Each structure stands twice: as structure tokens, then as C-alpha cells.
Amino acid sequence: MTWLASHFNYVVVVILMMAGLFIVFSSGNLIKRMIGLAMFQTSTGLFYITLSKVSGGTAAITLKADSETGRALAAPLDPAYVAQFGVDGVVYSNPLPHVLILTAIVVGVATLAVGLAIAVRVREAYGTVEADEIDALSRVAAEQAEPAP
């Protein structure tokens, strides 16, 4: 039970990642695949942010050490804990994964758009976005594959 409590986030990350992976593998629709890929990417983000969380921490926008907010944040925590892991009397979460994921999200939407643009061009060239139909068409087995109306 304590294992589940302390590793719950990782379990959820894996479930979401596998949901994305399942969509990418099982769906023949190129656009649904891009949705699956987006979900997969989000789960990676969740993983990084999970690692960066520090108990009792706050967002990495630094406060003045003697500010009222800083003291209020440190009040419920053990002073020894704050002294060991805090910076100037305030405990912060790790900012580095935030930086990585922040840019990854914006790059992610840009690549999503590129993938979708490719899907659109595939639709215009083949008349369908279903992968199996595209396969059939490109094998020049036209009588086996009816393009979607």
C-alpha cells in the first residue's frame, strides 16, 4: 500500500503511455494515431514533472527569504527538513524538468501539426487516412481496396 502511494504517479504514467501506445499500434486511422502519439508525449511530460516534485515544495519562482509568503510556506514543514532541502528557507520543486517539458510541449504541438499535415496530404493523394487502405492502394491492388467515398 505504501508502495502504491509513493509510486502511484509512475503507475498512472505507464497506463497513459500504454494507452497512447495502444492507440498508435491498433488504430489504422492516421489522425487517431497522432492523437495517441500526443497522449504518449503528455505521459512523458507527466513522468518528468513527477520526478521533479519535492514534498512540501513550491513552484520554482523564488521568494525573498524573509517574505511573508515564504514564512507561511515553511511553517507547516519540519525546520530541519527546510534547512536541509530548502534554499533560503523555502523548499522549491526542481525547475530543470519544467524547462525541458515546457519547450517539449510547444515543440510537440509543432510536430503534431507536421504529422497532421502529412496525414492531410496522404488523404488528398489516396482518398483515405486508413493505413490498411493506403497499403492496399500502394500495392496497386485496386480491386481489393475501395477508397472511402
Query: Hey, which residues between 5 and 24 contact another protein (CB under 8 A)?
Result: 5-12, 14-23
With CB under 8 A as the contact rule, the residue among 37, 42, 137, 145 that binds another protein is: 42
With CB under 8 A as the contact rule, the residue among 63, 134, 136, 145 that binds another protein is: 63
Residues 70-129 that bind another protein (CB under 8 A): 72-73, 76-78, 81, 84-85, 87, 91-99, 101-103, 105-114, 116-121, 123-124, 128-129
Give the burial class of 20: count Cβ atoms within 10 A of its Cβ; 0-12 exposed, 13-18 middle, 19 or more buried. Answer: buried
What lies within 8 Å, CB to CB, of 48 at 6+ separation is 97, 100, 101
| 136 is an interface residue for another protein by CB under 8 A | no
With CB under 8 A as the contact rule, the residue among 1, 37, 44, 53 that binds another protein is: 53
Q: How far is the CB of 68 from another protein (least distance, A)?
A: 10
Give the cell for residue 70. Answer: 515564504
Torsion of Cα atoms, 99 then 104 then 105 then 110, to 10°:
140
What lies within 8 Å, CB to CB, of 85 at 6+ separation is 54, 91
| 137 is an interface residue for another protein by CB under 8 A | no
Q: How far is the CB of 9 from another protein (least distance, A)?
A: 5
| 145 is an interface residue for another protein by CB under 8 A | no
**8-state DSSP, 30:** H
Give the cell for residue 22. Answer: 495502444
Q: How far is the CB of 40 from another protein (least distance, A)?
A: 10
